[in-house]
Structure 1
Amino acid sequence: MILEICANSVESAIAAQQGGADRIELCTNLAEGGTTPSYGQIKWCVENLQLEVWPLIRPRGGDFLYSDAEFETILGDISYCKQIGCNGVVTGLLNTNGTINEERCAKIIAVASPMPVAFHRAFDMSNDLSVALETVIKLGFVRVLSSGGKENAFVGANELAKLVVQANNRIEIMPGAGVNADNLIEIAKTTSAKNFHTTAKSVVKSKMKFKNEASKMGLENADEFSYEQTDTLKVKVLKEILNIL
């Protein structure tokens, strides 16, 4: 049983390791579903952590239909990750009609090789999960992160179970989105999956003593003096649950 933590910062990555996670999907910008972290963050994690580091390669939030310029940045980021020794990368692209972009994904696999590539939740936005699964298997992806096409993995557990059967050990199906200590056992038993993905995050209060409440860095109603970070204790609890399954 493998626990992957979606780590949105270097500190989250450290917390994931301290909690006993097996792997991190390193990203930033969780509010938009995650985007590519900085080169400095990737390099630090590769050089200082013992768990597997798989950066998310997603140039922006929103859909998974990318311009030529965006695709060039995706390939550049993947080349960098390969160069510095990442264990793998996580990405995904779609066509306008909701099918997997086979041409560009094949290019990604070629550029990354021999570094493995996982397909992220762009999979859930495809127009037919069963067809999409066969496509990503054919292309050579090693893992698919999915909520079964639903709002979260608990709601989509039955669909995920079907995908696990269809995959038949040709690729890993990894439930993700809304996975927590309260539903992990049921998701695991329903799906028969072996890999699980979650942020295991909590809100951290700023240690700033001076706080300018009048100025805003982000959204109008956002709290500028708190942020989300992976919680070591939550990771430990999730790993303990997996260890007894």
Structure 2
Amino acid sequence: MKKIEIACFNLESALIAQKTGADRVELCADMSVGGTTPTKEIIQQAREHLTIDLYVMIRPRGGNFVYSDSEFEQMKSEIEAIKKLGVNGFVFGILKEDDTINIEQNKALVDLAKPFPCTFHRAFDAVSNYEKALEDVISCGFSTILTSGTFPNVMEGKEVLKQLVIQANNRIKIMPGGGLRSTNISEIDEMVNANWYHSSAITDGSEIANPEEIQNILKKLIK
């Protein structure tokens, strides 16, 4: 069964995602930088209204994915606090200066998040060697990798996405995301054959998910 996660930057999008049949919400703040940690208040509101799974992004700022000691401590504190809000999982990713996976820091956060599953987000698309990075992310204990195949979008990265699914061999879920729309999901799914897909479903330049777009994505997945 193919499933869809919707990246939501506000409560309205999260409610639309649930109403139109999405399987999971990834809740973030600050769409302009690709997502950061949302406020405690918006997480609580989302949890109050959602019955589907709610994953929360842990990212202290936009920009690169190499974090200072104080930023890393902030990420730990946020996970500890948000765990108490009834969420279902976390989304984060930390790299080293040389664009490899920071195994030590990621593993520490994955362990802290337990028993909740963690998705390694599109920091993966900045790695220098995706085959090595995949093994490193698996070793940290993540359940999912959100990636556009190390390219700016899923259409450009579809060959790499296919290779990642093959290499992962069911040890971790590969979730294509980044420019994924109803217009290209059939082509991506045919080539990549992932179980989970990720989209913001935003089609009009706003920050609100388009319910028709979510429905169209789901229709294309349920062939």
Q: Please classify the TM superposition score into its range, dividing by the shorter chain length.
A: over 0.9
Aligned to 1:89: 90
**How much has 1:82 moved relative to structure 2?**
1.3
State the Cα deviation string for residues 89-129 of structure 1 (Å, max 9, x = none): 00000000111111111110111111111100001111110
Residue 9 (structure 2) aligns with: 8
Specify the SS of the correspondent of 2:222.
helix
2:181 equivalent to 1:228: no
Larger radius of gyration: 1
Q: 1:237 aligns with which of 208, 216, 220?
A: 216
2:130 is aligned to: 129
CA distance in 2, matches of 1:35, 1:99: 21
Greater than 3 Å deviation, 4+ residue runs = none
Letter in 2 for 1:236: Q
Alignment check: 8 A CA contact 1:202 1:228 kept? no
Question: Unmatched 5+ residue regions in structure 2?
Answer: none
On the 8 A contact 1:99/1:127 being kept in 2, the answer is yes
TM-superposed CA distance for 1:194, in Å, is 1.1
Q: TM (normalized to structure 2)?
A: 0.97
CA distance in 2, matches of 1:234, 1:173: 22
Distance (Å, rounded) in 2 between the aligned partners of 1:82 and 1:243:
33
Return the TM-score normalized by structure 1. 0.88
Equivalence map 1:91-106=2 (5 Å): 91-106=92-107
| Deviation sequence 1:127-175 (CA, Å, 0-9, x none) | 1100000011111100000011001011100100000000000000000
The alpha-carbon deviation at position 81 of structure 1 amounts to: 2.1
Asked if 1:167 is matched to 2:168, the reply is yes
Any idea what SS the aligned residue of 2:207 has? strand
Partner of 1:197: 198
1:122 partner amino acid: A
Give the equivalent residue in structure 2 for 1:63: 64
Letter in 2 for 1:112: A
Question: Structure 1 unaligned runs (5+)?
Answer: 205-226
Partner of 2:120: 119
Name the counterpart of 2:80: 79
Aligned residue type for 2:166: V
Provide the secondary structure at the position in 2 that maps to 1:63. Answer: coil
Partner in structure 2 of residue 151 of structure 1? 152
1:47 Cα shift?
Answer: 2.0
CA contact (8 A) 1:150 1:156 kept: yes
Identity in percent: 41
Partner Cα separation in structure 1 for residue 48 and residue 63 of structure 2: 31
The question of whether the paired residues in 1 share the 8 Å contact of 2:15 and 2:49 is answered with no
